[in-house]
């Protein structure tokens, strides 16, 4: 595995301020990775989605639960991991937001956007909790 050029691990509370922190940090790392402004904005947006899921759906804003956010930059990838201490979830049961009935649903687009914008999206069950890993390959041409 390539040694990270930059790496940060944050332990954050289950509040909406964490969402803002993750978004800002993801944007900072995306810019350091050399992504253009639009791509950096998309990366920070889907990182925000992951943090929203961790705070609201995972930890349910419980004050005794934390969100772990790690940001790593290697010569090849920007990797963002968001972990919560909730009950975990099964990403395969999330309805398709592109289906005719899904299009008019007001929620359920977060994970879809992560998959559309990032190169890799992986889910891991923790005990307790869930971890989502978002990877964007850096342009090296």
Partner 1 sequence: MSMNLKIRHVGGVTVLDLSGRITLGEGSIGLRDAIRDALAAGSKKILLNVADVNYIDSAGLGELVGAYTSVKNAGGDLKLMNLSKKVKDLLVITKLLTIFDVKENETDAIAAFA
Residues lying near partner 1 in the complex (CB under 8 A) = 16, 19, 38, 41-42, 45, 48-49, 52, 97-98, 103-110, 112-113, 116-117
Min separation Cβ 114 and partner 1, Å: 9
Cβ neighbours of residue 110 under 8 Å, at least 6 residues apart?
46, 49, 50, 52, 53
Q: With b meaning 16 or more CB within 10 Å and e meaning fewer, what string describes 127-139? A: eebbbbbbbbeee
Q: 């920007």: which residue's tokens?
A: 78
Min separation Cβ 48 and partner 1, Å: 6
Closer to partner 1 by CB, 72 or 80: give it.
Answer: 80
Closer to partner 1 by CB, 12 or 117: give it.
Answer: 117
Min separation Cβ 125 and partner 1, Å: 23
Closer to partner 1 by CB, 92 or 107: give it.
Answer: 107
Euclidean distance between CA atoms 66 and 53, whole angstroms: 13
- What separation in angstroms does the CA of 93 have from each of 19, 27, 97? 24, 30, 12
Min separation Cβ 3 and partner 1, Å: 33
């Amino acid at each position: 595995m390539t040694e990270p050029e930059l790496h940060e691990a944050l332990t954050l509370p289950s509040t909406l301020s964490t969402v803002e922190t993750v978004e800002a940090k993801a944007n900072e790392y995306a810019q350091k990775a050399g992504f253009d402004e639009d791509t950096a904005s998309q990366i920070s947006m889907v990182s925000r989605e992951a943090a929203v899921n961790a705070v609201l759906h995972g930890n349910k804003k419980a004050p005794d639960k934390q969100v772990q956010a790690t940001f790593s930059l290697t010569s090849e990838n920007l990797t963002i991991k968001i972990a919560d201490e909730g009950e975990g979830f099964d990403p395969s049961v999330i309805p398709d937001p592109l289906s005719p009935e899904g299009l008019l649903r007001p929620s359920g687009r977060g994970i879809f956007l992560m998959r559309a914008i990032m190169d890799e999206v992986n889910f891991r069950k923790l005990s307790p909790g869930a971890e989502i890993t978002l990877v964007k390959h850096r342009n090296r041409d």
